[in-house]
């Protein structure tokens, strides 16, 4: 199994400089993991199109609620920037945390 990143690595890398729109579109149509599972479920009569549509609606509601909660929540303090990102004791400073105020927050 392999993966495909539909977007670039960052906002400065849209990903369109080294692959074509046709390639991205083709991968979405032929190898999208969600669509593959959908087809598998339908092919083996494990779900009906209506059940999958209902499931998608529920998932969308859940995602929308999580987004709304995140937008309503206060921004975390800068001291939380590296919380649960790096394993303690592996020299986080070497991963680019070079600003003095950020280094002060490291474990």
The maximal CA–CA distance of the chain, rounded, in angstroms, is 59
**Residue 14 tokens, joined:** 């849209």
Which residues have CB under 8 Å from 101's CB, separation 6+? 78
Beta bridge partners of residue 45, listed in sequence order: none
Q: Splitting the chain (107 residues) into consecutive groups of 10 residues, what average pLDDT does each group show?
A: 73 75 85 89 97 97 98 89 69 54 62
In angstroms, rounded to a whole number, what is the distance separating the alpha carbons of residues 105 and 107?
7
């Amino acid at each position: 199994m392999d993966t495909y990143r539909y977007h670039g690595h960052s906002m400065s890398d849209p990903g369109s400089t080294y692959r074509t729109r046709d390639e991205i579109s083709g991968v979405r149509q032929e190898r999208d993991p969600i669509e593959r599972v959908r087809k598998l479920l339908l092919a083996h009569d494990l779900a009906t199109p209506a059940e999958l549509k209902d499931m998608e609606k529920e998932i969308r509601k859940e995602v929308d609620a999580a987004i709304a909660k995140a937008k309503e929540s206060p921004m975390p303090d800068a001291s939380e920037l590296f919380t649960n990102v790096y394993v303690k004791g592996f020299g986080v400073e070497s991963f680019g945390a070079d600003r003095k105020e950020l280094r002060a927050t490291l474990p």
